[in-house]
């Protein structure tokens, strides 16, 4: 089982998902990347003034570190383009797994780190982006762990470990 409550992922905002993934393959020591297009939340919640973004993302591993690349397709303020961020590419968040997303959100809100975006997604899991910039210098994403999430992450990590360098970009599920 992947460690709970430890950083396992670094997320970056990029202008062009495929070009950024190829740069990470060629220069960043990660890959291959699985692409998830136009990700949809169920039951989204946002901080006041923020919209639910239309975005796609790619996941690739470099050893045990997961690299997430995010391309935002929508306009307007959202968790991925808050004031203070420059032009892409830029580091955006670190991610950790949690067993109880609601308790984690409550704990972070209690210490002054508000929820920026939260929601449920298939397969019956949840995530929450907490504004930990004032304490950690970046946003923290929490993902509620379950067997399906473990299976996806373990599969992507194993794919990277045995990768022969071919097909660096793959559609998720394809």
Residues 19-36 have pLDDT tens digits of: 999 999 999 999 999 999
Interacting residues of 64 by C-beta distance below 8 A, sequence separation 6+: 8, 157
Q: State what percent of residues in the chain have pLDDT above 70.
A: 98
The rounded percent of the chain whose pLDDT value lies above 90 is 85
> Is residue 148 within 8 Å of 14, Cβ to Cβ?
no
Residue extents of the structural domains in the chain: 7-162
- pLDDT, one tens digit per residue, over 74-125 is 988 999 999 888 889 999 999 999 999 999 999 999 999 999 999 998 757 8
Would you give the DSSP letter of residue 132? Answer: -
How would you classify the pairing of strands 139-144 and 33-36? unpaired
CA–CA gap between residue 117 and residue 18 (Å, rounded): 25
3-class DSSP assignment, residue 146: coil
Confidence of residue 7 (pLDDT cuts 50, 70, 90): very high
Q: CATH homologous superfamily for 7-162?
A: 2,3-Dihydroxybiphenyl 1,2-Dioxygenase, domain 1 (3.10.180.10)
Q: Is 67 exposed, middle or buried (0-12, 13-18, 19+ CB in 10 A)?
A: buried
pLDDT at 15 over 80: yes
Written as one string, the DSSP assignment of 58-123 is EEEEETTEEEEEEEE-S-S--TTS-TT--SSSEEEEEEEEES-HHHHHHHHHHTT--EEEEEEETT
């Amino acid at each position: 089982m992947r460690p709970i409550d430890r950083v396992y992922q670094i997320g970056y905002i990029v202008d062009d998902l495929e070009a950024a993934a190829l740069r990470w393959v060629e220069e960043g020591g990660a890959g291959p990347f699985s692409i998830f297009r136009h990700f949809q939340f169920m039951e989204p919640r946002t901080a006041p003034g923020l919209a639910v973004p239309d975005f796609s993302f790619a996941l690739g591993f470099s050893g045990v570190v997961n690299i997430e690349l995010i391309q935002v397709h929508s306009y307007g303020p959202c968790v991925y383009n808050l004031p203070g961020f420059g032009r892409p590419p830029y580091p955006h968040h670190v991610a950790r797994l949690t067993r109880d997303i609601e308790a984690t959100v409550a704990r972070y809100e209690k210490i002054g780190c508000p929820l920026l975006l939260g929601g449920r997604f298939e397969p019956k899991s949840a995530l929450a982006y907490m504004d930990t910039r004032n304490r950690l210098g970046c946003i923290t994403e929490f993902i509620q762990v379950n067997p399906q999430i473990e299976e996806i992450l373990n599969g992507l990590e194993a794919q990277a470990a045995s990768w022969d360098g071919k097909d660096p970009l793959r559609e998720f599920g394809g």
